[in-house]
Amino acid sequence: MLDSLSNSPFHRGEHEIQTRLGVREQIEDVGQRFIRDYMPEEHRAFYAQLPFLLIGSVDNAGRPWASVLVGRPGFVHASTPDRLKIDTGLIYDDPLKDNLSMGTQVGMLGIDYESRRRNRMTGKLIAISDAGFEIKIDQTFGNCPQYIQSRSFEFLPEVDMIGENRSTQFLKSLNDRAREIISKADNFYIATHYSEDPENPSHGTDVSHRGGKPGFVRIEGDQTLTFPDFTGNNHFNTIGNIMINPLAGLLFIDFESGDLLYLTCKAEIIWNSDEQRAFDGAERLVYFTLDEGLLVKNGMPIRWNFLEYSPSLEKTGSWEEVDETIRVRKEGNVYRNYQVVRVEPESKTITSFYLKPEDGGDIHCHKVGQFLPIEIQPPSADAPIQRTYTISNAPNGSYYRLSIKREPPAKPDLPPGVSSNYFHDYVKPGTSIRAMSPRGKFTLEESSTRSVVLISAGVGATPMICMLEQLDKDRRGCGCSRQVWFIHAAQNSEVHAFGDYVHRLAKDWARLRVHVRYSRPLDNDIEGKDYDSIGHVDIDLLKSLLSFDDYEFYLCGPPPFMESLYESLKSLNIDEERIHYEFFGPGATLHKERPSGFISMAEQLGDLAPVPVQFARSGIEAIWDPTKGTLLDLAESEGLQPAYSCRSGICQTCTTKVVQGEVDYIEPPMVPPGEDTALICCSYPRSKVKENENVKRLVLDL
């Protein structure tokens, strides 16, 4: 374990967060290799082409400020690999003018909007003159281009008259113009400061970019702002600084008018809240309380032309969606009407259905790997039925893709899958489908830097395709270079879905490795083209492909396939936390042995008194006690077959009306059921609370 700060490029606050989020060791290794105290040639050339440079500083009161320097390309240049010269004046009234002196610690950010490249550094002033100043570098590193909107620029004549008088306003609260700038912003810059250990190379000021959909920074009252902090490079320079020193400087640039809004604020990190959980893509929220501000009219002698939004924004939400999500969760589950806009066969047995909201509004951006609860009315069903299907596309804010396998009868004397056959036989473009918001806990660990191994069989490929699509977007959008393995089992090419898509990706994705194994290839299936080997995906195959150094494993397929691989991976001492799984059939657990700290339901609830349970429609009565498990377990033990899917209180399929009595939950469900209903897959009868209280009968509409 890496516990010491000695020789680390990160300080205590950064270490604490890296440890909290489980990325400490990997990021330390990355930092040791790529955080330098000098600029390589490509970085020196990068700075020399920039028309502006962000800089963070601290005033005499210890408050951070984010500022911007402007000049024609070449105004920033490297005199030596570890020194950066800046030849320009300061924008009128920029707070930086009072914060510069010999030895001052500053943070800098070079950013090229058009290419989305950026580079960060920290250092101290070693020379100051009327023409500019020079900085000795302490740390420098390249930064990924996530959340940067692409823009081109053009200079105004004022670029040659930096420092001329401008109209300014000093602020103690946000005025109408400040609100307007913030409310339409799709990015801002944040300066923070770490001063706990002057000997640490991380000591000093940092300035960073934050981006999102327009309006991603929320205004509350006249002094408070909130922004969602999305997945980044796991350095946690900004958040680590705030952990130790909860102050921040913000800079908003109006790209149309050139107005500049400087704010210095108190900062607070919110790790867990209803709003954070409801904001797609947000790993945490940060609250800012304004201390002081400055508005400089037409301070920026550059204008930008918008080109396109960052593809990374497709997996992020909005404050409007947050409000709607929280409202829905408070009111219970609310279905929304979707229209099927496209139907596309993926194989002989699997077809994809593309869903868009009928009202033309935005959709909730799902987490990669989640499923969509739907409600349909097949002709053969007396009442609407509920099912859940994995979303097979990465978040895009536009549509959900459900890739559904036509299910044959489980046994000759049983009917075929009602829902899947309804989709294949009746659903066409224009068909209306009702669905709730996405949910599910089988999701891609996007903050991890470990190599990814996606292992699937049959229609179990659907969440893996979603993950693969997102990983492809990440490497294109932010340059993330995780090694990815896609290992899939199918019978043959007739039933092999998404094969062409995966092989196309592999052709230009150097760090993607694909292995497809057919169990019964057709005569015209070509080894080396359609598939790579014959047999079943098992641990011997994995051993032949992987070095087993440091992976995140994701498994999805039929129960025997899953159980075999899970147990085999465990036998190789793979940590349970690194093995993520989901069945494409009814939910279950792969834990053959109880994991450390596990407490069974009987042990947890062993002192509860037995409760009579009546299943009203079937006329069956039973006695529940903690050894009987959940209400769903009890119903099944009595020969009933209630509808269910996830068995974890997520999908809502098992929602049942409570005619009499009350229930409690093993864990609070993600979305509480409606009034007088219960999720029987994760609930049990409420027993007496006081010693002299009578046990109440529970009556369910089953």
In a domain, residue 225? The reply is yes
What's the longest Cα–Cα distance across the chain? Answer: 91
In a domain, residue 406? The reply is yes
Q: Are residues 345 and 487 in the same domain?
A: no
Residue 99 zone, left/alpha/beta (φ > 0; ψ -120 to 50; rest):
alpha
Residue range of the domain that includes 530? 451-583
Q: Are residues 388 and 488 in the same domain?
A: no
Structure tokens at 217: 């920074």
Residue-wise pLDDT for 72-126, tens only, equals 999 999 989 999 999 999 999 999 999 989 999 999 999 999 999 999 999 999 9
Q: Are residues 402 and 508 in the same domain?
A: no
Residue-wise pLDDT for 526-581, tens only, equals 999 999 999 999 999 999 999 988 899 999 988 788 888 999 999 999 988 889 98
In angstroms, the CA 368 to CA 393 distance is: 8
The residues facing 371 across adjacent strands are 390, 439
Under 8 Å between Cβ of 316 and 191: no
Q: Are residues 572 and 609 in the same domain?
A: no
Q: Are residues 86 and 221 in the same domain?
A: yes
In a domain, residue 7? The reply is no
Give me the CATH number covering residue 428. Answer: 2.40.30.10
Give me the CATH number covering residue 687. Answer: 3.10.20.30
In angstroms, the CA 178 to CA 366 distance is: 32
In a domain, residue 515? The reply is yes
In angstroms, the CA 385 to CA 190 distance is: 50
Q: Are residues 311 and 339 in the same domain?
A: no
The residues facing 334 across adjacent strands are none
Characterize the bridge pairing of strands 533-534 and 512-518.
Answer: parallel
In a domain, residue 442? The reply is no
Residue-wise pLDDT for 446-493, tens only, equals 777 889 999 999 999 999 999 999 999 888 766 567 899 999 999 999
In angstroms, the CA 581 to CA 648 distance is: 14
Structural domains counted in the chain: 4
Q: Are residues 199 and 311 in the same domain?
A: yes
Q: Are residues 346 and 405 in the same domain?
A: yes
Rounded to 10°, the helix 12-20/237-244 angle is 110
Q: Are residues 179 and 239 in the same domain?
A: yes
CA–CA distances in Å: residue 498 to residues 7, 349, 420, 456, 463: 47, 12, 18, 12, 12
CA–CA distances in Å: residue 697 to residues 268, 602, 677: 48, 20, 15
Identify which of 328, 322, 332, 212 has the alpha carbon closest to the alpha carbon of residue 278. 322
Give pLDDT < 70 ranges for the chain: 1-6, 201, 328-333, 409-416, 477-480, 583-607, 645-646, 648, 650-651, 667-668, 670-671, 688-694
> Which helix or strand (DSSP H or E) is residue 531 part of?
none
Its pTM surpasses 0.95: no
